[in-house]
Amino acid sequence: MVSLAVNRSSARRSQVTLISQVRTEWLKVHPDWTQLGVLARGPDDTYTGAPYEQRQRVRQLDTELASGKLDLEEGRSKVSELTPSSTTVVEFFSYLSELILDGRVRPSEVYSVLGPDVARHGRTIRWVLGLGEVKWAPSDFIDDRGTSWNQWTDYVNVNQFHDRTERILLLFDCLWATLARRGDHNWHLILFCAQVKQNGSGEHCRRRAIRLAAERGRWIHGIRLQRLLLESEYVRLRSIHKDRDPLPVSMFVDWAPEKLVRQGRWRRRALRTCIRALRLELERPKNFP
């Protein structure tokens, strides 16, 4: 018993040291990540967390491209100068995914390092991996944001990371599932993603988790990851309802929480009855006595 306690204590110290090293490396990679976020989401997106210098650099380049001062090749060359950090970011996220698949760290520990500001930027990492297009936030500077920018960035990342792509997608699936479990985002966005995942993408993500874990001979760990991913597909009620205020009626009517929200066994039937009553009340004519 004493040796077992000593081994567990030693393993825990090693894990804490590893998490500390990951946090240190993340501080070095973070400026590269925010630069990619500005390129993918635009300099006026307030959720990228990028400093003013990075935003202004991209905004100035966008103005030069839109005014015709640079031709296609010159513009692509300028954009390429802002994207050499993509390989560094991909390698770092791939390393984190390997740590999770090997069971050396838990997804919740990785989430504590990266936080919700990374977990909710799945669109950015898909563009970095060559699986998505640029979509800029609206702005008063230039109309139709991101449309002209695509011709400069569509060639930068063209699915060039191969097997690392699936590992990184698994990492972001785990981060989003942890975010949904903790309720670290707006409840309507968490439920919207749950709805999308229940339409087919959630099953694909869970199959990817078990396949990548099975390749390492860690079937049990793959099942644990599958259970975690269900947190983003069937959201816990307490994750989106942390206070004592009543939930909005529109939430019950528009989002069908009997399918999206996971409750306890004894509360499920009562919640469904409440939802039906609310729908009947809203569908009743106004002049009904």
119-137: pLDDT as tens digits: 988 888 888 888 877 766 5
pLDDT digits (tens, 9 = 90+) for 239-286: 776 654 555 544 544 444 555 555 554 455 555 555 555 555 555 554
Q: What is the DSSP string of the chain?
A: -HHHHHHHHHHHHHHHHHHHHHHHHHHHHHHHHHHHHHHHH-TT-TTS---HHHHHHHHHHHHHHHHTSS-HHHHHHHHHHT-TTHHHHHHHHHHHHHHHHTTSS-HHHHHHHH-HHHHT-HHHHHHHTTSS---PPP-SSSSSTTTTTHHHHTTT-SS--THHHHHHHHHHHHHHHHHHHHT-S-HHHHHHHHHHIIIIIHHHHHHHHHHHHHTTT-HHHHHHHHHHHHHHHSEEHHHH--SSSPPPHHHHHHH-HHHHEE--HHHHHHHHHHHHHHHHHHHS-TT--
The answer to whether the Cα torsion of 170, 126, 35, 115 is positive or negative is negative
Buried b (16+ CB within 10 A) or exposed e, 10-20: eeeeeeeeebe
pLDDT digits (tens, 9 = 90+) for 155-173: 565 557 778 899 999 999 9
Q: Between 60 and 230, where is the model more confident?
A: 230
Query: What values do phi and psi take at 262, rounded to 5?
Result: -100, 125
Domain range list for the chain: 1-182, 186-289
Q: Between 232 and 288, where is the model more confident?
A: 232
Say how many CA atoms lie within 13 Å of 240 toward its Cβ: 25
Contact 237, 251 (CB under 8 A): no
According to the model, what pLDDT value does residue 152 have? Answer: 62
Give Cβ neighbours of residue 44 (< 8 Å, ≥ 6 apart): 55, 59, 136, 137, 138, 139, 141, 145
Residue 228: name the closest of 196, 197, 267 by CA.
197
Tokens of 27: 């501080």
pLDDT digits (tens, 9 = 90+) for 81-97: 777 678 889 999 999 99
